[in-house]
Amino acid sequence: MAVCVAVIGKDNSPLYIGGIGNDCSTDNELSRQWLVHTALDALEERLATSSSINANSGNSTAHTDLRDLYGYVTNTRIKLVLVTSSTSPSGSNIRDAEVRTALRRLHALYADAICNPFHLPGDQITSVKFDKQVKSLILNNV
Amino acid sequence: MRSSVSYILSDAPGESVMSHPDYSQQAQHHGCLLILVKGIGGVLKNFNKLWDRVQKVNNIKVTDSQGQIRDIWVRYVQDYPVENNDWGDFQTHRRLLGLITFSKYTNQVELNEVCRVHESLKVKYSNTLYDSRAFIFGPGTNLKRPVQEPETYSVYEDDKLSKEKTSTCDRISLPSEAAESLSSAESFSRSPSSTASYSNQEENFTTPSNFKTHAMFYGENDPMLDMEQQISDLINSLFWVVESKRLERSKEKLEKVSLLLVPFEKKDYVGLDMESRNNKKRCMGRVTKNLADLTLQAGLVADSLSLYHSAAEILKSGNDWLWLAAAKEGHCAASAILLYPNLKNSTPLQRNASLQESSPYKMKSLSLCQPSDPVRKFKMNASPSKSKMSSPVNLPSDLTPSSSESIETSSRQSELENADTESLASCSDMEYQSQKSYLTPDLPSIPRQPSSQLHNQYLLNGEDIVLKYRKAIIHYSKYQNAGIIETEACFKAARIAVEQGNCLQASSFLQNIVFINLTLSEQEKIQRFDTLAELYKDIGFLRKAAFCQRLAATRHVSVNNPNPDWQRCYYFMLHSFPGHKLCLDPDYVIQHQVGWPVLQIEVLHEIVVAARRMGHPALATRHMTYLLQTLWPHLSRLQQREFAIQLQALSAQCEGGPVPLVLETGEVIPPANLTHVPHCLHFNPRPLEATRTPHLINSKPQHGPFIFTPIHFGSLERKSKKEEGKMDHLWVQDDICEVQLKLTNPLPIELKVSNMLLLTTGIVFESIPETIILPPDSPTTVNLHGTPKEEGDLQILGYSTHTLGVKSNCRLKHMPMPNKFPASFTVSVIPSLPIISIETCVTVSGGVNVFGPDSGSTNISLYNGESTDCSIKITNTTFYVLKVLLCNNVVRTERDPTVMVGWAFCIFRISTNSHTTNWSAPISVMPPSRGRQIESQILIRYSGGEGKEVHCRESTLQFNLELLPSVSITHWDVLPAEIAYHQQCGSEVAPDADQCFWQSFGEGHHIISGYDRHCSNVTLKLGVILKTLEESTKAYHECTVVFLTPGEYKIDIQCSTTEPLSDYPSKDLEHSSITQPCVGEVSHVWRFIPPVAISVTD
């Protein structure tokens, strides 16, 4: 199941990192940041090696000890990262198709969030609505 | 990547399980002979130097029995666990074959100890050790070389087969022997070591009888010219043993071989039917694999490929996964050796190359293969002792040719030399090529191996290597006890992938390492992370590398670690900076805000702790300052406060200063300056105050032709050329100048900023320290002062502060973003000018009012007609001769622009140092008819000092003169007429001034009260001489007027005096251009306004 979602700007700055779990605990927040941060290298490498820019559906994965990371890159090089725990409670592995839909939905949510005329591109996403929707996505979808 | 199959053999790890991973292994090490290099006995100061020298001899070329040149590579280690040696059957490169010790002794006891340790090391690795060398340093240079018994190795006793082989081979390998002997012959004249010590002996040291090692004795400071030679000698002898083993193995009958086992397998094969088909296959496969290993080590890389291939085939059919994996890995390693020769020899060759230039003896050994040198040839033939020296004295008996043989060989050798010339030349060429390929790393590397080998059908290409390695690792992963083998394989595979430039493959290999579950000591875990980090760095995964380094750092100080090492922790943290996009220079980080602030804060906070625990408070302070400085905008208010307080506590131990800190490793931590605390909103160099502002003496407008052109050449450049931060105003040398700052304290606590100074460059500037206390969150204006000590352009770069225990140089160009300051402010400083202070002294009504130099204006109140004295005191407060250039005055009255009061000084005076000039001018006021306020300014232009030619100063002295009326008509009355047409007017005149006026006015003056009668424009003047008005008394006058016709009348009431009002002291002034009061019949008139209007009726 998905545990964390991150939106990363084209300059690799964190725009949004959210996940389920005890949110207020900074420890959790930190570990999430570490997780996504270290996965950025592999993401970048994959992006650099893929010649074409039609990375809209470019799906890349990186694995850490307990988590699988799925990346999704928009045309504007915004990276959407979905972290799933590889040990799913049901025991079955998450199918790629599921991840794909989840990421598409996330992309749509992101597009909605930056449609806000008061949002400056490149700024952190502080929208409460986005946060709420992302959390429901994490909980329900995957 | 890991096999999903659970561990096949999941025994509890026994003692034989290899438990010490070697993270530095590379695929190329499969083809290397392993030699242990150890410093034993007393501490050798130059062991590291020796170690470097030994490492350079990592490759020799040996001509084998077929005349083929073998390239033999060696790997030196400083430590080798015996357990790993037990895996020598599995992968022969894990066998420790040679031993080199370096030791020092000063007396017999120490010598005995050294020999004992050496022998015990031999025993420790006795299973695999073939040969050893001991380099022993004695006191002084003149030594007795202890006589020894020949060295014997049990291994050789067993190797009956190899005996003859090696001895014959020895003979065949003469060219290299010859080369060796040559170098020793050359070094003979210079080196007093081993050989020379025979003759001259002062002390007799003897080695213990059980010391049976080929030992070399040197004086403590001997250059050890033949060390390289001795080592290649050792390698040579090792090669022949390996070669013999290889030949032995290759001649074995495959049906009869015994099963080779890895240590943990031994139990499993007890009581198994070894005759089964499957086990037969296993035996064959394993032996083939073993042969392939030996072949690879013996320098026959191409041959090993096919052997590995067939071994893999056999093992696959026998389902022997562990050995299959090893065969696959060997196959990959052999292919990698051929494909990526640079991977192996990069570092040592580099050293070789650098050494070539510096040390002559190295040159010699490298130029050995140039037989065209006639001198050397001659030497070779002429030197009788050559053979003695060339043949190692203590070679194992079965390897050493007898002395007669050696003489024979040496004579044969010269004959052979010509024949071998070609091959040697080609070998030297090859070596040269490989060196060249390294020296110019941009060029594609030239494979060291002949091209024919690259067309081997079993040679794997780059992709296949990775693929096969992956399979091998999956097979390894099935065995829990092979965890370390698997780990090492991952590292090796990753290194190959790095060489291939395939980052993703490399990262997946590295990622796999994390999953391998090993019981490792903390130290080994740290090493693992460190190696991971290094490799991640190689593929450019800096973030991952940083993550690993951080993990390694935390391991260093984890609770599980019995001996926490904060220093190492610190360095790991420090080196993880690039991965977190942090740079040691805070200004760079601020300008390029990249990276993840939350993580950066975390890392920096951890490094502060590490630095503090390490016992380096200066570093802790520096990093905390850095944290506050670079990540200020990302810190919450609470964090800001918390970190500021922490910084204060840290700096209490060691004050932070704006100087770079140099670490033990030579790294430099640049200074971090706090520009956020306090925050500067405004920075402005102020002009000098008005009285001290310099003016041009000749400030004429420029008279030049004004040319207008619509053509702008490079107008853009010209516009941009306008210097930013160039101030219009001037500062004066030796004069106190001022810069105004507006600071805010962003912390919620009161902030004390002490020792605030201006940072300047250009000319000498003396800044005056300032200490301020800033309340939280309210902008405070601070003025910083200083004195320029030279003339020229002064650049103000910023200011320095000392707050929270940290000294900072806050430069304007590094100021945080919101306020844009120019990089520096430039102010022109002109040569020094004098300063005067002016004091005025006015005598009014008996009292004296003194107006000090600070009050720019002098206020005087005078009654009409009154006069007073005013003296002006000008003091030169500087040490320059002062020249007053101009002194004039301007008078402005409130309403009446006519000059009623005037004075003029046209004084040119020179006053010297701190002298005071006094002059007084009487002020007398002829009252204007209406004026009430008179402003008068005295302008003094003066100059002096060094800048007197161009600039001067202006002082203005302002007089505010208030005029008060001296007499007023206080009351009038129209009395009712007794007779028609008579009108009586009465008026009362009273002085409304005080006593002093009347006193100075004097007595005996008359007040004239007159009645003007305006009657159809006819003025009727009635004058009555009254009496002298006393002070504060009232005079009453009555007169009668008869109106003859009715109408509207206006009555003007005036009183006047006929005598001059004052004894104006005009005679005192020589230059008097004062308008004299008009002394006529009527000298002063007081009038009552408005006129009294009367209407007369019939």
Q: What is the 3-state secondary structure (H, E, C) of B933-956?
A: EEEEEEEEEEEECCCCCCEEEEEE
Could you report the per-residue pLDDT of A84-137, keeping only the tens digit for each? Answer: 776 554 545 667 777 888 888 889 999 988 888 888 888 888 888 898 888 888
Q: Would residue B124 be called left, alpha or beta, if left means φ above 0 and alpha means ψ between -120 and 50 degrees?
A: alpha
Domain match, B105 and B69 both = yes
d(CA B808, CA B759): 11
Chain B hits for A29, Cβ within 8 Å:
598
Instruction: Name the minimum distance, in Å, from the CA of B2 to any CA of chain A.
Output: 12
Say if A87 is an interface residue toward chain B (CB within 8 Å).
no
Would you say residue B59 lies in a domain? yes
Residue B806 lies in a domain: yes
| CA–CA separation, B323 and B260 (whole Å) | 10
pLDDT per position as a tens digit, B498-547: 888 888 888 888 888 877 877 778 888 888 888 888 888 888 888 888 88
Query: Does the pLDDT value for residue B845 go beyond 50?
Result: yes
pLDDT in tens, B406-444: 333 333 444 434 433 333 333 333 333 333 333 333 333
Of A12, A14, A45, the CB nearest to B503: A45
pLDDT exceeds cutoff 50 at B818: yes
Residue type, B846: G
B76 pLDDT more than 80: yes
Give the pLDDT of residue B1028.
58
**Nearest CA-CA distance, residue B596 and chain A, Å:** 6
Residue B111 in domain: yes
Which residue would you say has higher pLDDT here, B8 or B569? B569
Task: Decide if B596 touches A, using CB distance below 8 A.
Answer: yes
Report whether pLDDT(B813) > 60.
yes
Structural domain includes residue B336: no
In chain B, what residues touch A13 (CB-CB under 8 Å)? Answer: 594-596
The pLDDT value given to residue B187: 37
* Residue B262 counted as domain residue: no
Mean pLDDT of B569-585: 86
Shared domain check, B668 and B653: yes
User: Is B245 in the same domain as B131?
Assistant: yes
- Residue A33: its chain B contacts at CB < 8 A? 596, 598-599
Q: Domain for residue B769, yes or no?
A: yes
User: Which of the pair, A85 or A8, is modelled with greater confidence?
Assistant: A8
Examine the domain organization and report whether B905 and B797 are in the same domain.
no
Partner residue opposite A37 with nearest CB, options B514, B536, B543? B543
CA distance A125 to A14: 9
Residue B373, pLDDT > 70, answer: no
**Residue B837 burial class via C-beta count within 10 angstroms: exposed 0-12, middle 13-18, buried 19 and up:** middle
Would you state the pLDDT for residue B376? 38
Per-residue model confidence as pLDDT tens digits over B729-785:
888 888 888 889 888 888 888 888 888 888 888 888 888 898 988 888 888 888 889
Model confidence band, residue B852 (pLDDT cutoffs 50, 70, 90): low
B1000 or B914, which is more confident? B914
Residue B1072 pLDDT exceeds 50: no
Would you give the end-to-end CA distance of chain B in angstroms? Answer: 136
pLDDT at A64 over 80: no
Q: Does B511 touch chain A (CB under 8 A)?
A: yes
- DSSP code of residue B190: T
pLDDT at B1036: 67
Q: What span, in angstroms and rounded, lies between the C-alpha atoms of B851 and B959? A: 11
Which stretch, A99-103, B159-163, B212-216, B544-548, has highest mean pLDDT? B544-548
Do B244 and B99 share a structural domain? yes
- Is B1067 found in the same domain as B1014? yes
Choose one of B251, B267, B299: the last residue of a domain: B251
**Number of domains chain B is built from:** 5
The C-alpha of B594 sits at a distance from chain A's nearest C-alpha, in angstroms, of 7
Given B898, B933, B964, which residue is the final one in a domain? Answer: B964
CA gap B787, B582 in Å, rounded:
40
- Whether residue B687 is found in the same domain as residue B637: no
Q: Which structural domain range is residue B1004 located in?
A: 968-1096
Residue B1016 belongs to a domain: yes
pLDDT band at residue B156, thresholds of 50, 70 and 90?
A: very low
Q: Which of B221, B251, B281 is the last residue of a domain?
A: B251
Domains of chain A: 2-140 (3.30.450.70)
Band of residue B389 on the pLDDT scale cut at 50, 70, 90: very low
Give the number of other Cβ atoms within 10 Å of residue A16's Cβ: 19
Instruction: Please state, for a pLDDT cut of 70, what percent of chain B lies above it.
Output: 60
Amino acid letter, residue B1046? P
Q: B908 CB near a chain A CB, below 8 Å?
A: no
C-alpha to C-alpha distances, B1089 to B968, B971, B1016, B1086, B1095, nearest whole angstrom: 10, 11, 20, 9, 18
Residue with tokens 């100075």: B1000
Q: Letter for the amino acid at B335?
A: S
B766, B809: one domain: yes
Return the pLDDT at B1077: 38
Q: Which residue has the higher pLDDT, B146 or B647?
A: B647
Predicted pLDDT at B680: 85
Q: What is the mean pLDDT of chain B?
A: 69
Confidence class for position B1058, pLDDT limits 50, 70, 90: low
Q: What is the DSSP letter of B485?
A: H
Contact B598 A30 (CB under 8 A): yes
Lowest average pLDDT, out of B71-85, B403-417, B578-592, B1071-1085, goes to B403-417
The answer to whether residue B943 scores a pLDDT higher than 70 is yes
Q: What is the pLDDT of residue B374?
A: 38
Closest CA to B282 of B312, B308, B306, B249: B312
What is the ipTM for the molecules in this complex? 0.87
Task: Classify residue B108 as exposed, middle or buried by CB count within 10 Å of its CB (0-12, 13-18, 19+).
Answer: middle
Q: What is the mean pLDDT of residues B380-397?
A: 37
Q: What is the CATH number for B811?
A: 2.60.40
Whether the CB of B544 is below 8 Å from some CB of chain A: the reply is yes
Q: Are residues B742 and B860 in the same domain?
A: no
Q: Distance of CA B204 to CAs B146, B147, B221, B801, B926, Å?
A: 8, 11, 19, 71, 126
| Residue B843, domain CATH | 2.60.40.10
Lowest mean pLDDT among A108-122, B334-348, B1077-1091: B1077-1091
Q: Are residues B876 and B953 in the same domain?
A: yes
Q: Do B94 and B195 belong to one domain?
A: yes
Chain A interface, mutation test: which of B547, B582, B635, most A Cβ atoms within 10 Å?
B547
CA proximity to B885, closest of B956, B959, B958, B954 = B954
CB contact under 8 A, B536 and A29: no
Query: Average of pLDDT values for B318-328?
Result: 86
Per mean pLDDT, which range of A10-19, A61-70, B28-37 is the poorest?
A61-70
The label of the residue with tokens 């392993």 reads B34
Same-domain status, B734 and B811: yes
Q: Does residue B138 lie in a domain region?
A: yes
* Mean local confidence (pLDDT), B365-371: 34
Closest residue in chain B to residue A34, using alpha carbons only: B599
Contact B515 A65 (CB under 8 A): yes
Does the beta-carbon distance from A12 to B504 stay under 8 Å? no
Of B504, B598, B599, the CB nearest to A45: B504
B898 or B130: which leads in pLDDT: B130
> How many other C-beta atoms lie within 10 A of the C-beta of residue A71?
25
B451, pLDDT greater than 80 = no
Q: For A15, name the nearest residue in chain B, comparing CA atoms only.
A: B596
Cα(B497)–Cα(B517) distance, integer angstroms:
23
Q: Which of B131 and B918 is assigned the larger pLDDT?
A: B131
Per-residue model confidence (pLDDT) at position B855: 59
Q: Do A41 and B543 touch (CB under 8 A)?
A: yes
